[in-house]
Structure 1
Amino acid sequence: MLNKRSKADSVKKRHLITHSSADSIISDQFRTIRTNIKFLSEEKRKRTFLVTSPGIGEGKSTTTANLAVSVAQQKDKVLLVDTNLREPIIHRIFKISNEVGLTDILTEKATFDEAIHKTGIGKLDILTSGSAVSSPAEVLGNEIMAKLLNGVKTAYDMVLIDSPTILKSTETRLLANQCDGVILVVNRGKTILEKAVEARKILKLSRSDLVGVIINEKG
């Protein structure tokens, strides 16, 4: 039992640097990003932000998780939603159950209150991806998802949505159009310039508002 707990703690520490090492340089960089996003939230009334990347392995989910923690440390009420229904990872980063989550709400098998996770990190709540579904794009594109996004806007100071890669996932394009802004995460060593440009074009075609780009040094 002790070994399992130690392993879990090490995983959480490695991924959630803003929680485990609040005084680190990386945490300070996330505070800068947090400040910029909060400026957009307050000045332009933007509250829901979708975080995506051109490809896989660019550190998108880890970035989203750390950003959510950083915002919550300012005593803001934050909701982190995992919409990567094919390969969810947010529940692993925070070491929480994924038995009930977003898909269960969208298929009317559970209520929002039944699916939400209280992290104990400030006022950070998490909505994991939930039960596996055969058609992620159809589930995320239904009216219940649109109503859910509209509802959480009034309940939270900021909503961060971790989504699949923009270049391969139809559902990401659908969600991007429904959010107030999109944040693109690219990896300095992995992202090919052409893919980053293509991702920007797709966001423009989907009439999404690209509000910023986060450059990751590591995956």
Structure 2
Amino acid sequence: MSRSDLKLRPVVAEANPTSPISEAYRTLRTNLQYAETDRPLQLLMVTSAGPEEGKSTTIMNLAVTYAQMERRTILVDADLRKPTSHYNFGLSNRTGLSHVLSGQADLSEVIKETRIKGLDVLPSGPVPPNPSELLGSSRMEELLGKLREQYDMVLIDTPPVLAVADAQVVANKCDGVLLVVNARTGKKQHAIKAKNALQFVQARIVGIALNQTAHREAGPYYEYVDRT
């Protein structure tokens, strides 16, 4: 498949950086920076309790806002079951994270530049038969260590917490976890269950982003809620 065949999705923070929605993403970024008081937040995992809550849209726009403040940023698509980052940025998914974790490629061979200055993407690669095992492997630890050395900000997209074990496997390898909750369709008990599941593996939940909250002027946008 050529890049021209890939479906591009709008990145609001890039396409309309002065819009209220883009400002909401920048506010979210700023709030996350204040969560760095205890220790640096360089590896941030973004997930949700269930599907269709907006985690991938959130991490995509958040990555753009970090790059816009001239922080070298990479978005890692660790959703090895339903990857989306290659669609969002019009990239090929023929090679990616699954190839590195299975020993079929080097990290440098699969990282892809985007049209946005300072933002790279590590696509998921082909869907493997054993996602949880790959994400929990020593190769994943080694990969994250290399990304720490190469980038100012590493954003990791994972499957929803309640769907599979993948998010829990990755969570305690990161400096923090942002939980995205759809304020309109998400269920409180599911969010609580997801939070408990993350805390069970000693993940550091740095906050909750409420997606699709009502606002008089901006329309649907994100609000940051402290984890406490």
Does the pair score TM above 0.5? yes
More helix by share: 1
Which amino acid in the other structure matches residue 116 of structure 2? I
SS in 1 for 2:9: helix
Counterpart for residue 67 of structure 1: 62
Which amino acid in the other structure matches residue 94 of structure 2? E
How far is 1:41 from its partner? 4.3
2:211 counterpart of 1:216: yes
Counterpart for residue 50 of structure 1: 45
SS in 1 for 2:51: coil
Name the count of aligned residue pairs.
211
Which amino acid in the other structure matches residue 87 of structure 2? R
4+ runs deviating over 3 angstroms:
39-43
How far is 1:119 from its partner? 0.7
Distance in 2, Cα, partners of 1:81 & 1:42: 24
2:91 counterpart of 1:114: no
How far is 1:39 from its partner? 3.2
Distance in 2, Cα, partners of 1:39 & 1:157: 16
Distance in 2, Cα, partners of 1:65 & 1:39: 20
Give me the identity figure in percent.
37
Counterpart for residue 217 of structure 2: none
- Which range is displaced more, 208-217 or 105-114? 105-114
Q: Can you list the C-alpha shifts for 1:119-162, whole angstroms capped at 9, x where unaligned?
A: 13121010000122101011111100011112211211111000
Distance in 2, Cα, partners of 1:189 & 1:151: 38
Counterpart for residue 12 of structure 1: 9
Counterpart for residue 155 of structure 1: 150
- Structure 2 portions without partners, runs of 5+: 213-219, 222-228
TM-score computed with the length of structure 1 as normaliser: 0.91
2:164 counterpart of 1:186: no
Counterpart for residue 33 of structure 1: 28
C-alpha change, 1:22 and 1:88, in structure 2 (3 Å) is same
Which amino acid in the other structure matches residue 100 of structure 1? T
Distance in 2, Cα, partners of 1:146 & 1:86: 20
Counterpart for residue 97 of structure 1: 92
Distance in 2, Cα, partners of 1:53 & 1:147: 25
- Structure 1 portions without partners, runs of 5+: none
How far is 1:12 from its partner? 2.9
TM-score computed with the length of structure 2 as normaliser: 0.88
Which amino acid in the other structure matches residue 208 of structure 2? V
Distance in 2, Cα, partners of 1:178 & 1:20: 32
How far is 1:96 from its partner? 0.6
